[in-house]
Each structure stands twice: as structure tokens, then as C-alpha cells.
Amino acid sequence: MSSPQWFITGASHGFGLLLSLKALKAGHRVVASVRNKTKSADAVNQIEAAGGQILELDLNESKESITKKVQAIGPIDYLVNNAGFFVLGAVEQVTEQEAHIQLQTNFFGPLFTIQAALPLMRQRRSGTIVNLSSIAAQDPTPASGLYASSKGALEALSSSLAIELAPFNISVLIIEPGAFRTNFLAALTPPSAPLPDGYEGTIAQTATRAYIEKDGKQVGDPQKGVDRIYEAITGESGPAGHLKGKVLRLVIGRDALERIRKTNGKFMQDLAAGEEATLSTDY
């Protein structure tokens, strides 16, 4: 029996690189994507030295191009949509181009890779699709509106997809990380347009600065985060191994857990406060 085949996007750094190396160390086959082999030479060398293959893929390519590249891999056991980036700025501040690129990379790109991989997964009646989201999808903060929207869209897609694919024995897993000490914040895209007049001194401005200042100070250990993700995907023994195929979402990071508990608590308060109005709308 051949070892499992992984396809992991966004492997030039962070979770994508670490997960690629972990799967390769376990003797699995890995195709990992980077946007540019030259610019990601260090990651490319590490993955290839460990026995993996590199695919140049930019999620801003056309659907036709993404489909052709993904389907050329052949049957995929574990599809991990990890590639993504963060457009920073107040909602009013974000440009049309930034909004399009944010959604293309974080939502449409994963959608197209999923659509490309599914025919063979359905034919084989097996497979796992893993979508890297963010705690921001559940708890959006100021200056992260576009990023949170792209991840929220990916989560909604994943929830529906999980139900659609259950008859084919294909599982879907959403990963909701908190703040991990990767280069994620260092690589964020700063606003190209200035903050509109009137926002000076508001939470939108202070939140933008806070994101930049948090780089390198995140509480999450990326290797431990990847270990939990790997366990939940494969069922390997560890704190998350028993979750394989049993949960739709995996929250990783102490800060993420605290934030989601707080936002869920607020949602339940709103639900209770509006219950009379909610129930007054039937015929």
C-alpha cells in the first residue's frame, strides 16, 4: 500500500513549510506549492531535500490554470489549503484592488483547488480537505475586516462542503489558529491608501499599529500548532489524534480559545435578548 499523498499550498514558510516537512518525515508523499521557487529557495531546498516535490502555484492564477496544475498531481489523500495573506486596514480604507486580491487568494483560490481535487476523491470514496482559516473568522477585530471576511467565506463554504461530501466518505476540517510566531504578520499587506480623515486616534488606527507591533511576540509555537493539525488530519496519537473525522473545526492557540468563548458568549446573550422579537415573526 502506497503512502498517503499530500498537497499543501503556501509552503514557503510558517505552517505550510512545517507541515510539509512533518508529513515527509513520516514517510508520506508531499507536493507543496510556492508562488515563486526563486524567492522561496530556502523552503524549496528543505522540502526537496526531505523528498518532497515543489509546485509553482499562485492562487491568483485563472481557475483553468489552477485546475490543470492540481489535477496533474493525481489522486490526493490530504488537500491542505494553507496559502493566504492579510490585507490590513479599516474597511473604508481598503481599495477595490486589495479587496479583490484578498478574496481571490483566501477564498477563490482554495475553492478552485477543492473543485480540482474532488473528482478523484469522489471516485475513490476517500480524502480529507483541510482549510486553514483564522480565529478572525469567528471574532473579527478592527483593521482585519477584509481578511476576516475572506476567512469567514471559506468557513461557510467548508461547512456546506462537509455535508455535501459525507456520502462520499470525504471529510472536511477547518483550522482556526490564533496568533502563532510565524512570519504571518511580517508579511501582511499594509494599506496602500491613507486612513480617511476622522479616524485619527480611533480603534481602527490603534489596531493597525497593534498588529504590526505584535510581530515576533505571538504566544503560539508554530511547531506545536502543526503537530496538533497533523494529528487531527491523520489520527496519529497525540492531543488531537482522537479528533480525526469527528470535528469540523479545530481551534488552536490559547488566545483563540479565549476569543471564541467570549464571542460565542456575546452571541448567546444577543440571542436571548432578542428571543421575543425572533419568535414574533411567524404567520
Per-residue model confidence as pLDDT tens digits over 53-104 = 999 999 999 999 999 999 999 999 999 999 999 999 999 999 999 999 999 9
Give the model's pLDDT for residue 29.
Answer: 98
Domain covering 5-254, topology: Rossmann fold (3.40.50)
Question: What does the buried/exposed string (b/e) look like for 81-105 if buried means 16 or more CB atoms within 10 Å of the residue's CB?
Answer: bbbbbbbbbbeebbeeebbebbbbb
Give the model's pLDDT for residue 217.
Answer: 82
Q: What mean pLDDT, rounded, does the chain reach?
A: 95
Query: How many CB atoms neighbour CB 225 within 10 A?
Result: 22
Give the model's pLDDT for residue 184.
Answer: 77
Distance of CA 150 to the CA centre of its chain: 10
Model confidence, pTM: 0.94
Query: Where does the pLDDT of residue 182 fall: very low under 50, low under 70, confident under 90, or very high at 90 and above?
Result: confident
Contact at 8 Å (CB) between 201 and 158? no
Give the model's pLDDT for residue 1.
Answer: 64
The sign of the CA dihedral 90, 95, 99, 102 is: negative
Give the model's pLDDT for residue 192.
Answer: 86
Average of per-residue pLDDT across 182-211: 86
Average of per-residue pLDDT across 108-112: 98
Give the model's pLDDT for residue 109.
Answer: 98
Per-residue model confidence as pLDDT tens digits over 129-159 = 999 999 999 999 999 999 999 999 999 999 9
Query: Which residues contact residue 83 at a Cβ distance below 8 angstroms, ignoring those fewer than 6 apart?
Result: 9, 10, 16, 33, 59, 105, 109, 110
Of residues 198 and 210, more confidence is placed in 198
Q: Domain locations in the chain?
A: 5-254
Give the model's pLDDT for residue 79.
Answer: 98
Q: Where are the beta strands (DSSP E) in the chain?
A: 5-8, 29-34, 53-56, 78-81, 127-132, 170-177, 249-252
- What positions carry a catalytic annotation? 133, 147, 151
36 phi and psi angles, rounded to 5 deg: -145, 120
Per-residue model confidence as pLDDT tens digits over 27-51 = 999 999 999 999 999 999 999 999 9
Per-residue model confidence as pLDDT tens digits over 250-272 = 999 999 999 999 999 999 999 99
